[in-house]
Structure 1
Amino acid sequence: MIASLKAAAETLGPELSAVRRHLHAHPELSYKEHATAAFVADKLRAMGLKPQTLADTGVVALIEGQPGGPVVALRADMDALPIMELNEVPYKSTSPGVMHACGHDVHTTCLLGAARLLAERRHEFKGTVKLIFQPGEELLPGGASLMIKEGVLENPAPVEILGQHVFPRLPAGQIGLRPGRYMASTDELYLRIKGQGGHGAMPELNLDPVVVAAHIIVAAQQIVSRRANPKMPSVLSFGKVIAQGATNIIPDEVYIEGTFRTLDEAWRTEAHRHLRQLCEGLAASMGAVCELEIRRGYPCLDNNPAVTARVRAAAEQYLGPENVIELDQWLAAEDFAYYSQVAPACFYRLGTRAPDGRFAASVHTPTFDIDEAALPIGAGLMAWLTLQELQAAE
């Protein structure tokens, strides 16, 4: 069966490349994926499926095999990033300032390919495959959360869900996965520190919010270095600081943005409390006011150990044991985590680098691209994993 599935996936290669290039050339930002959703729905209808719309720009469809089997869900995300593409390729983004720099065009293409392979084999398996094409992975509150609220994991409810994501650190032909806690929660931090501005030569007449902000930025790192369990990965980073003064002007306020990430939900909540106490208390001790807004983002992503073990075994059958890599924990975040909080899940990474080292640029950069040899591999592997999981869950 593996040989015939691989051959079928390879036959789809040119079509998958065309689909991916179309999506790459026509990216849409989070929650604005109207043309992308319509394109996906048309492809699904051509397979004889009946796509439905959820969360405005999400698409869901069912592949119904023989009756009596379980339901397995497969997920891809469709949104792009606000990045100006620097690649000079025929399929370069035609939307200035918008780019598929995180590989969601690849995810969508591979799931369409897997859907095609599974739809052609619907009489060979028991159960149902639920296809989930979701919007807004890159922007809070996360399209996954909206899809779940609208019932994507109900009627029928899947026994598990699988997700695939590009990984330029691995060459095409390899995948990476990790059981248990894999990716971090992510929270957005917005601080506004209010003082009293004035002439830089007369600081005694002012209340300098820049100095207060500097103390807060440095002191807040103690939450990670002295409050967190050293065995629990945590990251606190401030990436934006705005103080609209000048060489001789102390501003009235300083605005700061940052992120807090961890791999433990209980510590996440506790860290929020420590951060608020520190920011507000330290500012008050220096005579200023700090207003802190914490926008709670995606939860930790948990790969169900049993599902992940089966996925590993099936992937080793399809790719060879040497091409299935154990990944480290990663403090990036993914809204697939919402699905993993509701249903047993496995989120794995698809190698996309070329053997000669090309296409090694990281995701979220303006030069990200892939070796398109990864497309039939990703589509065929997802179809194979689904078939194996349907059989295991009977």
Structure 2
Amino acid sequence: MNMRLSVKLNTVKRIVCGISGGVDSAVSALLLKRKGFDVVGLFMKNWDIRDEKGVCATDEDRNDAEFVCKTLGIPLYEVDFVKQYWNEVFIDMVKDYENGITPNPDIMCNRHIKFHHFIHHAQTKLGADAIATGHYARTSVGYNLDRIDPQVDAEKDQTFFLSQISQWALQKTIFPIGDLAKTDVKRIATEAGMEKIAKKKESMGICFIGSRNFHSFIEHYIEPRKGNFIDVETGKIVGQHKGTHYWTLGQRCLIPGLAAAYFVCEVHPQENEVIVASGTDHPALFTSSFTTEPCYWIQTAPEDGTFAAGFRFQHKHPLVGCSGQLDRHGVCHVNLDHPMRAVTPGQYSVFYKDNVCLGSGRIWRLGPTLYEQGMREKVSFPQEFS
């Protein structure tokens, strides 16, 4: 195992490893144990509400976490962060949807729960010298500050979701599988007697809430309110929706009675209107500039307030070149090297340079679309960004 760490391993004896019940955390704990560390498993309970079928994903995951730790011969503890998750992640997520913003709760969950409350609990209650997680990322030292490097397996790289993690947290964290491909992780788990964990389906839903029907889920927290779909070109009503909180930029709208495919280009919660454009390549869906909220920089902010970097706002998108200008409040004005489709307020603009994740800022406001700038022809864009 090649762990690129800034944690001084010669001072580390006890490592508390987050055990989720999945294969990544299981193999992380296994590799650390093989290295001779005193490994302790810690299972987080962050959600306790059952889904539409009466199933609580936490119960299933806890059972799998117990199986993993029993197989590895390490103790397993549990900590309840339901209140913290609700107050610091979930409430803000619901408010964003009410305001026509599409949030990224996974990034905030990492910042507030996994890499703050988890570390504090591991240190104060379990005597941890360091913590470990099953994220596909690597850390290394630069200028006496930790930095996050992309994972070897680009398909599974999770540095995007770690782009708001503090130096305090990074200096206490180990990513044991950062140099491994997913296929290797599953193979190691199978060879260690954890085949059922290796074959377990990956969770794809909202952080800790699980995979479920989004419309049914969000209706428990935001009341549906009928409004209109408005054609961006004609200004005419082309259909009705049940609430702006169901819609995000770039999303396809199946509007009864219309043969053309419409896609969301603007969301106006105050007017309860969703502005739509005909065709996935309509210029109203594209912009080449935006402004973020104050950025968080993993190491240090650009000295002169300007920078050139690679950018993405979806974690599997290829990087796009951009230039940024910071104001005195840390707000970043970003210009892209070429227009991007469905850049979305509430998502995170994550910056990379020389194969290092620099940090990120939450997208706040978009610049003019190509349509607003007078473009009327369809836009050609790479398939990998669709």
Q: TM-score, normalised by structure 1?
A: 0.25
User: Which structure: larger Rg?
Assistant: 1
Larger RCO: 1 or 2 (CA < 8 Å, sep 6+):
1
